[in-house]
Amino acid sequence: MSISRRLEGRSALVTGGASGIGRASARRLAAEGARVAIGDLDEAGAAAVVQEIEAEGGHAIARRVDVSDEAAFRALIDETVEAFGRLDVLHNNAAALGRVAIGGDDEVEHLAVDVWDRTFAINARSVLIGCKHAIPRMLEQGGGSIVNTSSGAAILGGLSGTAYASSKAAVNCLTQYVAAQYGKRGIRCNAILPGLIMTPAVAVGMTSESVEMILDHHMTPEAGRPEDIAAMVAFLASDEARYVTGQLIRVDGGITSHAPTYADIRRAVAAGR
Ligand SMILES: NC(=O)c1ccc[n+]([C@@H]2O[C@H](COP(=O)([O-])OP(=O)(O)OC[C@H]3O[C@@H](n4cnc5c(N)ncnc54)[C@H](O)[C@@H]3O)[C@@H](O)[C@H]2O)c1
């Protein structure tokens, strides 16, 4: 597949770019011509992605940042503008993925309030901080595109992951508010709701049995790859998406699009029942 150079001359900042979806996003944006800043807690991982991008002829920088820390995230935005002269694209992607990163994120009666607060700080407050400090820089130059990584979990009920899903619902809402408040001044803001994407976080946080169980409810033969999300990020970052804003876009193999009985009926039909 040939990649277009539709982001030539643009500058992008990707959070959580050391791994998984963020890594694929940073690489794709760079492959399309953008200069990319990668912010992540994992400094060595981010630096490795810079090397990958440079090996492919792209241009990138990496910085350690905790996106829940306003001063640090703001400094990274300022540094990106200093390094590249502008900021056209912000991909708010870093998040703490439930139990592994934060601790027990269970049923409501067993959910520690502290887990809720820490989950919201990393997953939702960070998106506010990113938007708050990127928007003035984007307005100075006439606009920009903000892409937030949300989750399909935000639009459905579930047995666990209460704080994670709720924090992503906040991201969805914030996405629409940013789009409403700044659209007339040239800033678009959209959220991507991934389905199951095979990333290190999934590999560490789930058993192969639970992955199979979730995949059973996707309409596609396979789970998604980080590159599937990166392709949507690049589209939303580009001028081809000039009329797309305030959207919660599901890139999820159809898992949120079917009747709850889908997998049971599919198996029954296959068995000739
Ligand atoms: N993988 C999936 O199936 C899936 C599904 C739905 C949504 N998502 C969302 O996609 C995004 C990326 O997830 P992934 O699967 O690529 O995970 P990942 O663990 O592979 O990558 C997440 C990255 O974020 C970084 N990070 C975590 N907390 C941070 C902080 N406070 N400051 C800076 N960086 C921080 C980590 O170091 C890591 O490099 C997340 O927002 C996640 O909620 C993933």
Ligand 1 atom with the shortest distance to the CA of 153: 6
pLDDT given for residue 222 in this prediction: 94
Instruction: Report the predicted TM-score, pTM, of the whole model to 2 decimal places.
Output: 0.97
> How many Å lie between the centroid of ligand 1 and the Cα of residue 165?
14
Residue pLDDT, tens place only, 43-96:
999 999 999 999 999 999 999 999 999 999 999 999 999 999 999 999 999 998
Q: Is the dihedral of CA 244, 26, 230, 193 positive or negative?
A: negative
Find the mean pLDDT for residues 148-168: 95
Q: How far is CA 179 from the centre of its chain?
A: 17
Q: Return the ∠ at Cα 49 (arms to 43 and 55), rounded to 5°.
A: 140
Q: Return the ∠ at Cα 7 (arms to 148 and 142), rounded to 5°.
A: 70
pLDDT given for residue 100 in this prediction: 58
For a pocket test of ligand 1, which of 68, 69, 149 has the largest count of ligand atoms closer than 8 A to its C-beta? 149
Ligand 1 atom with the shortest distance to the CA of 196: 3
> How many Å lie between the centroid of ligand 1 and the Cα of residue 268?
36
pLDDT given for residue 99 in this prediction: 61
pLDDT given for residue 98 in this prediction: 57
- Hey, whose CA ends up nearest to atom 11 of ligand 1? 93
Ligand 1 atom with the shortest distance to the CA of 42: 37
Share of the chain above pLDDT 70, in %: 99
Q: Give exposure, 165-174, as e/b (b: 16+ Cβ within 10 Å).
A: bbbbbbbbeb
Residue-range domain boundaries for the chain:
11-270
Residues with CB under 6 A from ligand 1: 15-16, 18-22, 40-42, 45, 65-68, 93-97, 122, 149, 151, 194, 196-197, 199-202
The position carrying tokens 């579930």 is: 158
- Give the model's confidence band at 184: pLDDT under 50 very low, under 70 low, under 90 confident, else very high: very high
> The domain 11-270: what is its CATH number?
3.40.50.720
**DSSP code per residue over 223-257:** -B-HHHHHHHHHHHHSGGGTT--S-EEEESTTTTS
